């Protein structure tokens, strides 16, 4: 396991939790409930329904969908 900095979409998670006041696990569950849906449709939902910034929304969606693919 690496002790280096977190890279990729997960690097946004601390900021997402601080900015939007909900744990990442809650956001991921919300996204999973919307499946099947396209990546950009999920990003748009987070932006529209939850006033999330594009970078944060995209990171959550990318990480959630990648985890589902294994």
Domain boundaries, the chain: 8-69
Helix (H) or strand (E) holding 31: helix 24-33
For the beta carbon of residue 42, count every other beta carbon within 10 angstroms.
Answer: 22
| pLDDT, one tens digit for every residue, the chain (70 residues) | 457 788 888 999 999 999 999 999 999 999 999 999 999 999 999 999 999 999 999 999 999 999 999 7
* 57: CB partners within 8 A, 6+ apart: 42, 43, 46, 47
pTM of the model: 0.90
């Amino acid at each position: 396991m690496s002790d280096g900095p977190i890279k990729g979409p997960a690097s946004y998670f601390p900021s997402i939790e601080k900015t939007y006041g909900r744990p990442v696990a809650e956001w991921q569950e919300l996204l999973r409930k919307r499946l099947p849906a396209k990546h950009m449709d999920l990003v748009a939902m987070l932006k529209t329904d939850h006033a999330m910034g594009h970078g944060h929304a995209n990171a959550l969606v990318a990480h959630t969908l990648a985890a589902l693919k294994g």
